[in-house]
Amino acid sequence: MNNSQNMPLKILHAYEDLYFEEGKGKIFDDIFSRYFAPLAIDRHMDLYDALVLLSTRHRAQFDEMVKELKAHSLLSD
C-alpha cells in the first residue's frame, strides 16, 4: 500500500474511532469541509475515496490537512 492509500486509511480509522468523542466530530467536519471544498465529490463517494482523491490531485492541501489533524491530536505520527 503506497502513501497515497496508507495515510487516507489512517485518517479514516481516526475518524471512525474519534468522531463521537466530545467536540472531535465538529473538528473533523470543519477540517473536511474546508479541504474537500475544491474537489468535485460525488454525493455518494465515501470518505476514504474522497481522501485518496485529495491526496492524489491536491497533495499540498492534503499535507496541510494532515498537519492540522495532527495539531488537533486527531491523528498520530
Q: What is the pLDDT of residues 48-71, one digit of tens each?
A: 999 999 999 999 999 999 999 999
DSSP 5: H
Helix (H, G, I), strand (E, B) or coil at 35: helix
63: CB partners within 8 A, 6+ apart: none
Q: By CB neighbour count within 10 A (0-12 exposed, 13-18 middle, 19+ buried), where does 38 fall? A: exposed
DSSP 39: S
- pTM recorded for the entire structure: 0.88
* Segments making up each domain of the chain, as ranges: 3-71
Q: What is the pLDDT of residues 18-39, one digit of tens each?
A: 999 999 999 999 999 999 988 8
